[in-house]
Amino acid sequence: MSGLRELFRFTVEPEAAGLRLDTLLRRRFRVTSTLLRRVRHHGRVLVDGEPRRVVDPVPAGAEVVVLVEEEASPGVAPEPLPLEVVHEDADLLVVNKPPGQVVHPTRGVCGGTLANAAVHYLASRGEPAPVHPVNRLDRGTSGLVVFAKNAWAHAALAGRLERVYLAVASGRIEADALTIDQPIGRDPDHPVRRRVDPAGQPAVTRVRAVSRWPAATLCEVTLETGRTHQIRVHLAWAGHPLLGDALYGGPTDRLARPALHAWRVRFVHPRNRTLLSLEVPPPPDFQALLAALGAPEGGMG
């Protein structure tokens, strides 16, 4: 079988002796049933160098190696585009997305995306791994995007990222902190726009005011859900659309894109179970906006 790639290598601990291999993989690595089927049909398991089935029991002290056939990234051709790598390991590639770039090819965007750049970056290093975006950002939003290099890491991290954004909202937000808990659905009068809709999907956004000016507020925003345009929709609903966000009624005289930057992600690494916290500063246009606003009120910031 060609194209096999090592996914796991470990030694069976005494307390796991006699367990079936599929049970051990579920407990140790949170392997899904989908991935186990892939291992059965498109992979190989070696126990002390000998082929075994995933339903076989394993003895204490045995070395287990799990190999899976390499997956491609369908519709994502490698392109030699700039890529700012923030973190990389065997399972993950975390990059800093500039504003104006799409994360992954869509029906209307075939190339020039962050995923195209990531596939090229890995291939140029002799690592033709697929890329699975764990989180996505709007075209106009800058900041951290986490790519998984395999389906296991992608499934293990889905919904488990703590994402913190910096946003410049229009108007002065008086509250130091607020929680916006409003469902979001599609706007039937626009092909892209979303809106607060009682029949929509649950969405929770937590906002903390960091700096205030008479006509703007710099906020730290944490997402508890990941709906399309969630921060933009919720702040517009609250009467404070983002600066630069023409789609949701934000003023565009100071910035030509929504003033939104994904500056921090925190998560427990699926393989070694350690906490990983990554941050990137806002890009030049965002920093220029803050400088143009001047000194904030009350010495905040």
CATH of the domain at 191: 3.30.2350.10
Query: For residue 294, what are the domain limits?
Result: 162-263+286-299
* Residue in 138, 197, 245, 253 annotated catalytic: 138
Neighbours of 38 (CB within 10 A): 18
d(CA 87, CA 92): 8
Laid out side by side, the sheet with 43-47 consists of: 4-11, 63-69, 43-47, 50-52
Same domain? 293 vs 205 = yes
Distances (CA, A) of 80 to 85, 95, 231: 14, 15, 32
For the question of residue 285 being annotated catalytic, the response is no
Tokens standing for residue 202:
């649950």
d(CA 68, CA 35): 9
Same domain? 153 vs 173 = no
Q: How many residues can be counted in the chain?
A: 301
**Residues of the chain under the 50 pLDDT cut:** 1-2, 300-301
Same domain? 93 vs 128 = yes
- CA triple 146-227-190, angle to 5 deg: 120
Residue that finishes a domain, picked among 158, 183, 210: 158
Same domain? 184 vs 293 = yes
End-to-end CA distance of the chain: 58
C-alpha of 226 from chain center: 10
Same domain? 187 vs 240 = yes
What local confidence, expressed as pLDDT, does residue 75 receive? 73
Do 294 and 279 meet the contact criterion of CB atoms below 8 Å apart?
Answer: no
- 55 within domain boundaries: yes
pLDDT in tens, 61-83: 999 999 988 666 677 899 999 99
Q: Provide the sign of the torsion angle of the four alpha carbons 228, 229, 231, 234, taken in this order.
A: negative
φ/ψ of 208, rounded to 5, equals -125, 125
Same domain? 294 vs 175 = yes
What is the tally of structural domains in the chain?
Answer: 3
Same domain? 294 vs 198 = yes
- 89 within domain boundaries: yes
Extended beta strands in 101-203, E state: 132-133, 142-148, 162-170, 177-181, 184-186, 194-196
Global pTM value: 0.89
- 276 within domain boundaries: no
